[in-house]
Amino acid sequence: MPIEGADSPHLVPPPWSILRMTLAARLAAAVAVSAVLWVIVLLAMR
């Protein structure tokens, strides 16, 4: 079992972690992703 320092890179949560976002930010991100997917679908169906 390797011994790693407390400041190992994989233990640091990413700054964009969904768990740390506010509810408004989560809703905005969901709406943005949904809009992008709809644009892709509509462009593909043209």
pTM of the model: 0.53
pLDDT score of 35 = 97
pLDDT score of 39 = 98
pLDDT score of 23 = 84
pLDDT score of 44 = 97
The domain locations on the chain are 21-46
Q: Provide the strand spans (E) within the chain.
A: none
3 — alpha (psi -120 to 50), left (phi > 0) or beta?
beta
13-42 per-residue burial string, b: 16 or more CB within 10 A, e: under 16: eeeeeeeeeeeeeeeeeeeeeeeeeeeeee
Spatial CB neighbours of 26, under 8 Å, sequence gap ≥ 6: 18
Instruction: Give 1-46 pLDDT, tens digit per residue.
Output: 555 555 555 556 666 666 667 888 888 989 999 999 999 999 999 9
